Amino acid sequence: MKKLIYLLVLCLFVFTGCNFNQPKTTYHIKNDEELVKIMENFSVEKSEADVNAITDYLTESDILSTYNVKAPIQGFYIGILKENPDLFKAQAKRNITPTVQSILEVSKEFSSDMELILSGEQTYYPEGAAFLDMLWGYYYCTGDYRVIKLLCSIKDKDIDKTIRAAARWSLEAHKQKFPDKIKGCY
């Protein structure tokens, strides 16, 4: 009887592809589109498993080298740090690449500035559109309406016309995703 149980367990490992020598990936994100979808919906779900999946996906995919997505991801992690500092710290302890580590470090450095900017205590108008992308990443994580208000004010400020145009385009691009939030801008 013991031999039969041993044989069944052995067959189970063989047929399920169990391999103790290979590290198991824990993320459930299969492609870049799923990454974006999970990030955009995070403020509703607020799943720790999703944060872990995002970190794992960033570590194991090449999205950070093929697309310019660092700014929204930094904004997203700034939101994680604000809402759940322990979860943020746990991400840094995961088996991550130096690029992901760098994103976490920049997010940590900029987190206090983000709060000052959104509260109005610090006036900042971006020199490039990357800051606008960072704001959206923060919004995806937190759902903080102050992001929308800031983007609305940037689009109408007497500042660089390229930045104003980028803010307008950014709001237009998100209008269908967040219609109730953005309708106040127009």
pLDDT at 16 over 80: no
The residue that leads in pLDDT, 82 or 22, is: 82
**Rounded to an integer, what distance in angstroms lies between the CA atom of residue 141 and that of residue 79?**
5
As a 3-state breakdown, the chain gives helix, strand, coil percent values, each rounded to 5, of 75, 0, 25
Non-local CB neighbours of 67 within 8 Å, separated by 6+ positions: 32
67-99 per-position pLDDT tens digit? 789 999 999 999 999 999 999 999 999 999 999
Q: Return mean pLDDT, the chain.
A: 84
The residue that leads in pLDDT, 77 or 14, is: 77
pLDDT at 13 over 80: no
The gap between the terminal CA atoms of the chain, to the nearest Å, is 75
Three-state DSSP class for 34? helix
- Residue 25's pLDDT band (cuts 50, 70, 90): very low
**Rounded to an integer, what distance in angstroms lies between the CA atom of residue 25 and that of residue 22?**
9
